[in-house]
Structure 1
C-alpha cells in the first residue's frame, strides 16, 4: 500500500490492486494445499 501511495495512486486504485493481490495470494495458497493433499 505504501508503494502505491508513493506512486500517487488514488485510494480506489490502491484498493483494487490490493484486492487483486490478495485474490492471487489466496489462489497460490489453495494450489499449495491441493498439492499437499495429493501426496
Structure 2
C-alpha cells in the first residue's frame, strides 16, 4: 500500500490526490466483507 501510494503521488505530482480520498462507504461495502470472510 505504501509503495502504491508513493507511485501514485509521484506520477500525479500530488494533483489528483483528492480523487483517492478514503470514504466510510468504500470501506464498509468493498473492504470489510473480504476481511470478515477471510477470518472464517
| Alignment TM class, shorter chain as reference | 0.3 to 0.5
TM-score normalised per structure 1 = 0.38
Q: Using structure 2 for the length normalisation, give the TM-score.
A: 0.37
Larger helix percent: 1
Q: Which has the larger radius of gyration?
A: 1
Bigger relative contact order (CA 8 A; separation at least 6): 1
